[in-house]
Amino acid sequence: MSTIVTSNTERRMQEIIEKVRQGERLNLEDGVFLYETDDLLTLGQLANEANLRKNGKKVYFIENMSLYFTNVCEAHCAFCNFRKDLGDEGSYTYSGPEMVEYIEQHIHPGVREFHIVGGHNPHVPFQYYVDSLQALTDRFPDVTLKAYTAAEIDFFTRISGLSIKEVLQELQKAGLKSLTGGGAEILSDQYRKKMRVEKANVEQYLEVHRTAHNLGMKTHTTMLYGSIESHEDRIRHMMQIRDLQDETNGFMVFIPLSMQPRNKNAGIMRRNSAYEDLKTIAISRLMLDNIDHVKAYFINIGPQLTQVALSFGASDVHGTILKERISHAAGALTPEGLTRDELIWLVKGAGRIPVERDTFYNEIKVYE
């Protein structure tokens, strides 16, 4: 009779499986191993188990609308194709009334959230950014303002002379309810130097969210993966987010963002593979045991892969969006938005239960 020998790789995976099932936190070595394993199906199954324990079969989405007040930006991040210099062809800076006019032309019934990000425009004062939110609050008082990245908040401190807390308090007075998750990229100062991330450093990004949480805000957080970073860099990024969540419990969702090429005509070798996207979503679910939701962002990975990701640990498919610009400026080939009916179809097609939510994951309607 022959003896079946279990490989070291199989034993290592079994150890991780036991840790997850017993509620033991994964460490750096565990996370790096999961990136290096080729056992995608076991990884996905484990992430699916972890998600089902947290969320059951419910998958969340929101009726929202993306707004971009300005694309003028002082930073020159290597991965960005959205930014413009003042005076460049295609550069713009909308006033509050101009944005209200744009919204009135494009909004549809049911929109519950404005998702607001933009460039770091040094040619307007901090009051411009406050007034922008106030104009939306005055005209659309029932729509939640999820606005600005932590990097934008840090930028506001520099142009205003105010502290992070004071900036956030001024924006709250104008209607700010939550921060977007952007600006994190990879939380590594070495990465940020190489990629010319000319905005908030690692500690500043984390401190903005820490301060927002301490002011009672719940926020979102991201990771932009697929350029020069190592698998270890990604896991360290997740662990820093996890540590802050242990401290504040202020993050509602983690959003892995698949890096887009700068040219829409770029071949598949210039894009993250579906294999890598699914791995990252699954590993995010397993590493971030203290955050309720991991988002599959269809803008970056496409609707079909988003559907598959719902069996790999994802519990959120974002929202209707309406004319996303930043990822599409960087080469995304996906739709600029989806309708409510399309999102419901997408979720049901994966054997899950669609749940329309508000910004804070309060359930609006369950589509059984």
Angle between helices 126-139 and 164-173 (to 10 degrees): 30
**CA dihedral (208, 210, 213, 218) positive or negative:** positive
DSSP state at residue 199: S
359 annotated ligand binder? no
**CA dihedral (315, 218, 209, 118) positive or negative:** positive
CA distance 173 to 190: 36
5 annotated ligand binder? no
Upper half-sphere CA count for residue 59 (Cβ side, 13 Å): 30
17 annotated ligand binder? no
β-pair type (219-225, 176-178): unpaired
Three-class secondary structure of residue 335 per DSSP: coil
CB of 225 closer than 8 Å to CB of 260: no
- What one-letter code names the amino acid at 215? L
Closest of 163, 286, 287 to residue 214, by C-alpha: 163
Residue 51 CB coordination number (10 Å): 26
**Containing H/E element for 181?**
none
CB of 57 closer than 8 Å to CB of 353: yes
CB of 49 closer than 8 Å to CB of 311: no
Residue 357 backbone phi and psi in degrees, to 5: -125, 170
- Provide the annotated binding site for [4Fe-4S] cluster: 73, 77, 80
- Provide the annotated binding site: 73, 77, 80
